[in-house]
Copies of this chain bind each other. A is one copy, B any other.
């Protein structure tokens, strides 16, 4: 049982605290004193400190859960106070900039993270200890990340009921631009388009379920979204430009009355949408693989990033350090035989000697 500092007690920080308080001592911090006292009163943490630095100074693990644009400043503030060997992670929804800032401040003990969980509600009042149940929790180790730090954060995610998966920070940001940020902007744009027909404004209430679904997330907090867009501007601009191009092509197709082409676009989108969720990508019988690894920082990240890029889910992971030092054995459990086979091939290409099957 370690002591965990959670800095920022909104929906994500508060939910983490509620969940982790059962088995750990959680010390909290929030810049808003009302939020801080509510957090103690509702069991989010056992106590709060008046400054982030003070909360970070006593912890074995520090979780930073402030808005993405506030991260670099908070990292700078706590860095002199975090004890050596303590793991620092964050829960921001974009990663390249945050990870660069985190590595600069905390070195190989920093592991970027992004739990893929949320709610239309926000703030500590919405804190929910089930929020992360079965959610993906993306971790973004780099070549500079220490294996031990990665393991600690992955274990924390698993403790919250989430499924940790590793991706390179840039892969994360491009993916999230497409799966979250641009869909968010598209939802707002659809509302704007519908509402621009001011003559018929009272009739917008006739909208059926399809419109409700498409535009639901347009009701999210605009300030939070401005901060997210700022932090992932490049990837968003690229994906947004593509979306515009796709809509323009659709319009040209409809203008030209090329109904065969329209059918094939709609058909392809339908197939992709059905495939996306028909079968969870990362399931299958667990397959164990093991490999010898040199005992240096970055190795674990290399392996988990390779797994993430293949879409192979690592269900379990442990490192057996050689008693003589210098080398160790990494044991992984991967979901699905096909994924395991692909991962073995990739790791072999990277120069690892991999065995399939690990001792129970």
User: Is A183 a contact of B214 with CB atoms below 8 Å?
Assistant: yes
Contact between B269 and A211, CB atoms less than 8 A apart: no
Please tell me which one of the listed residues B240, B248, B277, B280 contacts residue A254 in the complex, with CB atoms under 8 A apart.
B240
A196→B237 contact, CB < 8 A:
no
Contact present for B205 and A311 (CB under 8 Å): yes
A273–chain B nearest beta-carbon distance, Å: 4
A117 within 8 A of B: yes
Residues of B within 8 A of A186 (CB): 186, 189-190, 214, 247
**A152 adjacent to chain B (CB < 8 Å):** no
- A311, B203: Cβ atoms closer than 8 Å: yes
Assembled-state Cα–Cα distance A192/B267 (Å): 11
A242 within 8 A of B: yes
Chain B CB within 10 Å, residue with most, of A262, A268, A273, A274: A273
Bound: A182/B194 CA distance, A: 9
Cβ-closest chain B residue relative to A274: B219
Question: Closest CB of chain B to A240's CB: distance in Å?
Answer: 5
Cβ contacts A264-286/B at 8 Å (1 or 0 each):
01111110111011001110000
Beyond A193-B182, A226-B266, A268-B192, whether A205 also contacts B276 by CB under 8 A is yes
A91 to B310, CA, bound (A): 48
Q: Smallest CB–CB gap between A353 and chain B, Å?
A: 25
A306 interfacial contact with B, CB 8 Å = no
Chain A interface size band reads: 35 or more
In the assembled complex, which residues on chain B have CB atoms less than 8 Å from the CB atom of A179?
194, 204, 206-208, 211
How many Å from the CB of A242 to the closest CB on chain B?
5
Q: Mark A164-207, 1 if CB is under 8 A from B, else 0.
A: 01010001001100111011111111111111110011111111
Q: How far is the CA of A154 from the CA of B179 in the complex (A)?
A: 43
State which of B207, B208, B246 has its C-beta within 8 Å of the C-beta of A117.
Answer: B208
Chain A, 217-234, CB within 8 A of any chain B CB: 217-223, 225-226, 229-230, 233
A174, A208, A311 pick with most chain B CB within 10 angstroms: A208
**How far is the CB of A119 from the nearest CB of chain B, in Å?**
9
Residues of B within 8 A of A206 (CB): 116, 136, 138, 165, 175, 179, 281
Given contacts A190-B243, A196-B242, 9 further A-B contacts (CB under 8 A): A179-B207, A183-B210, A189-B250, A200-B309, A202-B310, A214-B216, A216-B273, A219-B270, A230-B257
Instruction: Give 20 CB contacts A-B under 8 Å.
Output: A167-B203, A182-B193, A183-B210, A185-B250, A186-B186, A186-B189, A186-B247, A187-B269, A191-B273, A192-B246, A192-B272, A193-B242, A195-B269, A203-B308, A203-B311, A212-B277, A215-B273, A219-B273, A226-B259, A226-B266
